[in-house]
Amino acid sequence: MKVSIYRYNPDTDREPSMKEYEVDTQGKDLMVLDILALVKEQDESLAYRRSCREGVCGSDGMNINGKNGLACITPLSAVAPGVKEGKKPLVLRPLPGLPVIRDLVVDMGVFYQQYEKVQPYLQNESPAPAIERLQTPEDRAKLDGLYECILCACCSTSCPSFWWNPDKFLGPAALLQSYRFLADSRDEATEERLSRLDDPFSLFRCHGIMNCVSVCPKGLNPTRAIGHIRSMLLERGV
Amino acid sequence: MSIRTITFDAIVVGGGGAGMRASLQMAQSGFKTALISKVFPTRSHTVSAQGGITCAIASADPNDDWRWHMYDTVKGSDYIGDQDAIEYMCQVGPEAVFELDHMGLPFSRTEEGRIYQRPFGGQSKNFGEGGQAARTCAAADRTGHALLHTLYQQNLKNGTQFYNEWYAAELVKDADENVCGVIAISIETGETVFFKAKATVFATGGSGRIYASTTNALINTGDGVGMALRAGLPVQDIEMWQFHPTGIAGAGVLVTEGCRGEGGYLINKDGERFMERYAPNAKDLASRDVVARSMMMEILDGRGDGPDGSYVYLKLDHLGEEVLHSRLPGICELAITFAQTDPVKEPIPVVPTCHYMMGGIPTNVHGQALKMSGGHEGDAQPVNGLFAVGEVACVSVHGANRLGGNSLLDLVVFGRAAGLYIEDALRQGMTQYEPGNDDIDAALARVNRWNESKGGESVPALRKELQSTMQNHFGVFRKGDLMEEGVEKLAKLRERIANAHLEDKSQSFNTARVEALELDNLLEVAEATAIAAYNRTESRGAHSRYDYPDRDDENWLCHSIFDPRSKQLGKREVNFKPKTVDTFQPKVRTY
């Protein structure tokens, strides 16, 4: 089958280009990451990130035939009709909207900065008990769909609002994490957390486009989390 | 060659659970601490831990006792786990786990609001007399992910200085073999730097990638063990590799033991629940070495399924959709993605798969690395300036076989212990050993070798050969002549790897260079494993030999020590002196 990969090495290339490779899959429905490994055996200069190869570490987010996803859990058959059969090329590009370091590796700096801005850690100044802080199963259930985020950046880099204002709009990944702590019954910093979001950009640049939801490889719903934060901010304003 | 030096009080190499627990402790104390990780920390392999963290927090059973956990762990280790270290881990464990909750780890909960605990293999109440215990604290089946993210978040809060996507290539020692820091390369820019520190903490994880089929992440290449061996330091019990019973056939992806804890069980091609024959009491929740061997015997006796009869099944559908989706949601996802099987409807094809390195750099309970006065024999003494925690270390709490859920506990207990010890030592004034220029040049030699290579075999082909050698010669069942052949093959591979070629010499994000440097480490771990396995002439825990089928307490109730300089295997005494309880004497191990 044919694979077309975005290549750019700042040491040697003046501009990026797409490079074509031929890979023998023996008809198997391999994962996109397996294809990258086969290409790297032909051409060791290809750069991409990878670690767990099972969809939990978030290293290999990339743009696969136009849609962001994780290479390690995207089988060829799920990319687009005809790709597995070799009738259509597999087209791999770096996540959009972030500076490219090399090939499929992007500079995640601004993405991590936005994550850090939401103070993504539990805040509780009450003296800790000798055992765990108790939490009902119902309260714990509020964290489901939030804590599972793997910081792959597929969502934020598919969000037009994030493309426009990556430094001011926090983006879906960071906002999902913000709500993960707002929703935690053990966290006491609700008021401070909400205050920091109450400006025209941090949260309110979300226009409900929902690209984040359609690309999230873990099936999470940042738009819904953003909606919950909006409601909390509105209730607080009344 | 002159390179930049960056100086810290302490550096931690590796951003998994152990490394970040250690760095958190030191960052909280205000000492200048850096964490060097070849991946962004939440991409570390701890993220893949599923079932939980085993600890007697007395939630599922208010009468639970850490001594029962200790008994299980000693028995699980097949009696070569150090009883003082196991005692420390099991006793301090609850405090370390409650800290994780206070940090925000989203544990699953009981109706009483306490942390949910599930049964795991090898667990008992009342020193093996009270039946199955439920002692593994869980965040659904994503406990490692929850733990790793929580620790990263706390390190952010406490201002740990991260060097993410920096690759530590070599230890730097002075002329007297004291550790002064590491050479590390910025993957993004290619810059090579000397990180100088009073304390260097290795938390580099395991090395499952020496095998062709493994549950381990692609990054698990034994970098810490490789660096230690090249520095002439010994490794302990390195022949002890755990094969996890349930890796997804073909893909190698892990399916948590928690599945069997929740009531799942293994069946052969005839649908028979075969573990009832091998472990009549514990059945599917026998210790991992026992279950893995039983599965292999079913397969070798022709009761495996699939085109080559090469796997058995893990049956879960009887648990019902609700339990599966609430307790094991990640497993449902993985099975659909990697086995095209929905566990709600069909059993998952599974096969024993390389999972965990019980051996590693010998340490004491403070994480101080140890060496032997006579290379492979003599007295154990601390290596000045070097610490090791987590899977890279052999403290030893796992002995010849680790119990499920004990690895996460090991990470946080000993990451914390090393942090506390170093904090105290720094306060009292730790020596900064100063290397000479020659010492730095010596540490750069390997990186320079690859950078200057002009031709030769390629890295991926050699790596594949190494992995298949380990898979075929040092698997679940081992045999002297087959291992001897494996040792010879590895010796030849050593020569070939020493002459292998790195074609891409560019600076920016050169992952080919990282993979080349990793290959050297894979080789070091593989060779140490092979020689140790060949020389341990008995069967114990995960080390199972056709030619020596029995445990030999007379000759081998001891640690093995592999000395990389002489390539000799020596013996070291196991600690049988816990401080607060009576010694657990070796017994015949049945489940």
Other CB atoms closer than 10 Å to residue B4's CB: what's the count? 9
Q: What is the mean pLDDT of residues A217-230?
A: 98
Confidence (pLDDT) at B581: 97
Give the CA angle between residues B111, B114, B120 to the nearest 5°: 95
Cβ pair B107:A130 closer than 8 A? no
A135 with B113: Cβ contact below 8 A: yes
Q: Do A133 and B101 touch (CB under 8 A)?
A: yes
Confidence band of A149 (pLDDT split at 50, 70, 90): very high
Asked if A52 and B45 come within 8 Å (Cβ–Cβ), the reply is yes
Q: How far is CA A209 from CA A146, A225, A227, in A?
A: 19, 14, 12
- What is the reported pLDDT for B2? 81
* Inter-chain touch B146–A53, beta carbons under 8 Å: no
Query: Min CA distance, A148 vs chain B (Å)?
Result: 8
* CB contacts, 8 Å: A147 with chain B: 106, 139, 146, 149
What DSSP assignment string belongs to B470-498?
HHHHSSSEE-HHHHHHHHHHHHHHHHHHH
Helix (H, G, I), strand (E, B) or coil at B84: helix
* Backbone angles phi and psi of A211, in degrees to 5: -60, -35
A140 to B107: CB separation less than 8 angstroms, yes or no:
yes
Contacts of A51 in chain B (CB under 8 A): 39, 43-45, 217-219
CB B184 within 8 A of CB B197: no
Residues of chain A contacting residue B57, judged by C-beta atoms under 8 Å apart:
131-132
A121 closest CB neighbour out of B57, B153, B253: B153
Amino acid at A150: I
HSE, CB side, 13 Å, CA atoms: give it for residue B203: 37
Instruction: Name residue B242's amino acid.
Output: Q
Is B288 assigned a catalytic role? Answer: yes
pTM here is: 0.97
Catalytic option among B142, B288, B446, B589: B288
Domain boundaries, given as residue ranges, for chain A = 2-105, 108-237
Neighboring chain A residues of B323 at a CB cutoff of 8 Å: none
Instruction: Compare all CA atoms of chain A with the CA of B107 and give the residue at the minimum distance.
Output: A140
CA distance B241 to B422: 30
Q: Do A51 and B188 touch (CB under 8 A)?
A: no
Q: CA-to-CA distance for B289 and B573, rounded, in angstroms?
A: 23
Residue among B106, B111, B460 minimizing CB distance to A147: B106
Interchain contact, A57 vs B43, CB within 8 Å: yes
Of B113, B502, B515, the CB nearest to A134: B113
Q: Which residue of B has its CA nearest to A150?
A: B42
- The CA angle B32-B38-B44, to the nearest 5 degrees, is 95
Homologous superfamily assigned to A108-237: Alpha-helical ferredoxin (1.10.1060.10)
- Is residue A80 very low, low, confident or very high in pLDDT (cuts 50, 70, 90)? very high
Task: Round to whole Å and give the CA distance between B577 and B591.
Answer: 25
pLDDT at B395: 98
pLDDT tens, position by position, A41-60: 999 999 999 999 999 999 99
Average model confidence (pLDDT) across chain A: 97
Q: To the nearest whole angstrom, how far is the Cα of B565 from the nearest Cα of chain A?
A: 32
Q: Which residues of A touch B115 (CB under 8 A)?
A: 132
What is the C-alpha separation between B447 and B478, in angstroms, rounded? 35
- Interface touch B115/A132, C-beta < 8 Å: yes
Confirm whether A2-105 and A108-237 share one CATH topology.
Answer: no
Q: Which residue of B has its CA nearest to A52?
A: B217
- Whether the ω angle into residue B396 lies within 30 degrees of 0, i.e. cis, is yes
Q: Which residues of B touch A69 (CB under 8 A)?
A: none
The per-residue pLDDT for A237 is 78
Q: What is the ipTM of this complex?
A: 0.98
Residue A184, pLDDT score: 98
Cα–Cα dist B192/B169, whole Å:
9
Q: According to DSSP H, which parts of B77-213 are helical?
A: 83-103, 143-157
Within 13 Å and on the Cβ side, how many CA atoms surround B239?
31
The predicted pLDDT at position B1 comes to 58
d(C-alpha A123, C-alpha A21), whole Å: 50
Cα B354 from chain centroid (whole Å): 11
Q: List chain B residues with pLDDT less than 50.
A: none
Q: Domain A2-105 classified CATH 3.10.20.30?
A: yes
B416 and B26 Cβ atoms separated by less than 8 Å: no
- Which DSSP state fits A95? P
Rounded to a whole number of angstroms, the distance from the CA of B297 to the nearest CA of chain A is 28
Give the whole-angstrom CA distance, residue A141 versus residue A147.
Answer: 11
Q: What is the pLDDT, as a whole number, of residue A236?
A: 87
For residue B300, give every residue at least 6 positions away whose Cβ sits within 8 Å of its Cβ, in sequence order, or none.
Answer: none
Q: How far, in Å, are A19, A109, B189 from residue A6 at the CA level?
A: 6, 21, 20
In order, the DSSP letters of A179-190 are: HHHHT-TT---H
